[in-house]
Amino acid sequence: MRWVGLILFVVLPLFFLPEAFRQIEIRALLLSGRIEETLIFSYADGRNLKCWHGEQEEMNYVLFPSYTDMSRIGISTKADRVDLAEGDTVITLMKGEEVTADLKTDVVYNLSIYRNKSKKLCDRQVTFLKSEGLPTLYVTTESGKMDRLNADKTYKEKGNIELLDTNGTLLFAEELRNISGRGNHTFTFEKKSYLMNFIHDINFFDMGESDSWVLLCNVYDPAYIRNKLVYEMALQAQMPGSPRSEYVDVYFNGEYGGIYQLCERVDIGKNRLEIADLEAANQELNGPGLEYANPFLSEEGNKKGFLLHRSPADITGGYLLERDYGSKALRTESRFTTALGDHFTIKNPKYASREEVEYISSLMQEIEDAITASDGINPYTGKYYTEYIDLQSWADKYLVEEITENQGGGCSSSYFYKPQDSLSTKVYGGPVWDYDKAFGNAAGFNKDPQILGFLTLHDYHTTWFYYLYQHEDFVEMVKKEYQEKFSDYLSVMAEEKVDEYISQIEAAIRLDKARFGYIWEDAPDYLEQAEYVKRFLLERKAFLDDIWLDNAKVCMVRFCDENREGTRCFGVKAGKCVNIFPEHYWEEGLHFLGWQIAGTDSYLTTETPVYRDIMVYCAYERQDGG
């Protein structure tokens, strides 16, 4: 009898505990609105998907890649019973069984979940969405999770990828050396960009072999096409190092991750900027682990690098530089700051020797001294500024930023490169990068297609292109390059490319928006945004054609603080008004009166036509009337 009691009170409950725990688990998931763990959908070659609970509306989604055969979807459940109903058609699932179903896309199914086959626990709704026309990239991390990658941009994890075409054919599978998060402001959003480093060189879509590729999230662009438009514009203008890219649907560890722009990284190397690689040369001479070398910081704090044991015999190139804003640049490994306060990160060599930092910072300072001189001649060396820079590439770089009115163009992600002297003694402008805030997609000046901004649209702008535009030969090169490379293509972009890209990704956008919504609650629809980009392009072309093809008079409006200092400057066509003004800053106890025209008692307003070059400054009065 003792053994019977032991079986009744100890052993038998062990058989029922798993079921009890399962019911508790299901109830908890349903109460939290997460039905994704109670239903599994299998497709293609046994890949599984779960529901995603949309945050923007009370709807659950299952998001399938473009090659999915929706007539052969396997469905299984942890619940005792599930009814999936659409109209008069009801699909009933029982625990432990898999049903193959023919599912419709873009319709709402009613979902009922039961306990003990007849006791209904809840009703939900689910919609099945399927992408179209895009390849599918599966990224699998070593941990099977993305949590640490999404929490820490410096964290790297091994993994592998599989790339399938639109028919589901495996193009290739490769091992990831590592994947990590990337981006600055965009990394704060739920959908993030990533950098993928491979063990072997990979050639995605015939874009050229490389071991490093970027998954660009385009999270800040409701049209999803701004970066693509600009990269293609730079490619057709034959600007070296311009990133090629293709759209893909990405699944991370089996879960839908969004539509991404798979693109080349701005870098030195084969099929990128094909110039000398100083980083590789430094490693060859000093061995791996350069990041552990002793750093150095100049007494003035304006130069930072590393005390390497050896520097290459030829340190004249290649360098890849990024003009950046101070708080970000100060956190980088190797950097320098010019006399006018322009911060440059040395992207390659990342761990630059003292000699390399001194060389490239001195050269860039000589460039600054030349272009800021009224006659373009460096007062210390006697060299004219075009002896330092490749004029054509700098004009092209300026044109891309000016045409797009890229809000960060004079601030961050602004690249320059320097080959070895044996190839060229000059510094080149480019490559292009980061245009999700272009074409009017940011608050402020880049919404006005009727101005020249000289790359001063951002608070932390560079002054270099403002000064360059004072030199007639630079302006003439800008006009020449605009006529030959850009003017006609702006029409192509507006009349063909916008619709071409939207048509290519339209189905995928629906999945992405179901998964992520958008960063602003009142964000415009992607089609509305696409039409906005078209209008912007055409208005921008008309204005720039007037300026650079028909030689309409440009009046400079220079905005200064109350001390008559500042180099933020806009160009407007003679007789036109300034429509958007810079933000003004004031101390407590002061009242902003407006932008006073220097030498007058008048104020510049949005209704004041401008007929000559003017300077305006912030005018204040004390709130007590003093």
- Tell me the pLDDT tens digit for each residue of 380-420: 999 999 999 999 999 999 999 999 999 989 899 999 999 99
Residue 423 in contact with residue 463, Cβ under 8 Å? no
What is the spatial distance between Cα 176 and Cα 215, in angstroms, rounded to a whole number? 14
Range among 28-42, 587-601, 608-622 with highest mean pLDDT value: 608-622
Between helix 498-516 and helix 526-544 the angle, nearest 10°, is 140
pLDDT at position 9: 54
Q: Residue by residue, what is the 3-state secondary structure of 159-185?
A: EEEEEECCCCCEEEEEEEEEEEEECCH
Please, how many CA atoms are within 13 Å of residue 7, restricted to the half-sphere of its CB? 4
Q: For position 171, what pLDDT does the model report?
A: 96
Cβ-based neighbour number of residue 493 at 10 Å: 27
- Which of 4 and 67 is assigned the larger pLDDT? 67
Return the number of other C-beta atoms located less than 10 Å from residue 133's C-beta. 14
606-623 core/surface letters (b: 16 or more CB in 10 A; e: else): eebebeeebbbbbbbeee
Amino acid found at 434: D
Q: pLDDT digit string (tens) for 367-389?
A: 999 999 999 999 999 999 999 99
Q: What is the pLDDT of residue 482?
A: 98
Confidence (pLDDT) at 417: 98
**Maximum distance among all alpha carbons in the chain?**
110
Of the pLDDT bands very low, low, confident and very high (cuts 50, 70, 90), residue 33 is very low
Q: How confident is the model at residue 28 (pLDDT cuts 50, 70, 90)?
A: low
Rounded average pLDDT over 277-306: 95
Which pLDDT score, from 0 to 100, does residue 223 have? 96
Structure token pair of residue 292: 């552990």
**Predicted local confidence at residue 592, as pLDDT:** 86
Asked whether residue 233 carries a pLDDT value surpassing 50, the answer given is: yes
pLDDT for the residue 56:
52
Sign of the CA dihedral with 472 first, then 478, 481, and 484 last: negative
DSSP string, 455-505: T--STT--SHHHHHTTSHHHHHHHHHHIIIIIHHHHHHIIIIIHHHHHHHH
Q: How confident is the model over 72-86, as pLDDT tens digits?
A: 999 999 899 999 999
**CA 336 – CA 322 distance, rounded (Å):** 11
**Does residue 24 have a pLDDT over 90?**
no
pLDDT at 460: 86
User: 65: buried, middle or exposed (CB in 10 Å: 19+, 13-18, 0-12)?
Assistant: buried
List, in order, residues 6 or more apart from 414 with CB less than 8 Å away.
322, 323, 324, 397, 401, 408, 455, 462
In this structure, what token pair is assigned to residue 23? 């019911």
Pairing of strands 255-264, 343-348: unpaired
| Residue in 390, 391, 363, 392 with CA at minimum distance from that of residue 378 | 363
Residue 485 CA to residue 397 CA, distance in Å, equals 12
The tokens of 583 are what? 């933000």
Grade residue 137 by pLDDT with cuts at 50, 70 and 90. Answer: very high
Q: Tell me if 399 sits within 8 A of 478, measured CB to CB.
A: yes
What pLDDT does 518 receive? 73
Dump the DSSP string for 39-54: EEEEETTTEEE--EE-
Q: pLDDT (tens digit, 9 = 90+) per residue, 596-609?
A: 999 999 999 999 99
Confidence of residue 14 (pLDDT cuts 50, 70, 90): low
* Contact between residue 462 and residue 414 where contact means Cβ atoms under 8 Å apart: yes
Specify the pairing of strand 89-94 against strand 81-86: antiparallel
Give CA torsion, residues 559, 561, 566, 567, to 10 deg.
-10
* pLDDT of the residue at 27: 54
Q: What is the pLDDT of residues 436-466, one digit of tens each?
A: 999 999 888 889 999 999 998 888 899 999 9
**Mean pLDDT score, 180-193:** 91
Q: Is 58 helix (H, G, I), strand (E, B) or coil?
A: coil
Q: Tell me: the pLDDT tens digits for 309-350?
A: 999 999 999 999 999 988 888 889 999 999 999 999 999 999
The per-residue pLDDT of the chain, averaged, comes to 91
pLDDT of residue 622: 79
* Over residues 501-508, mean pLDDT: 97
Residue type, 473: D
Residue 378 three-state SS: coil
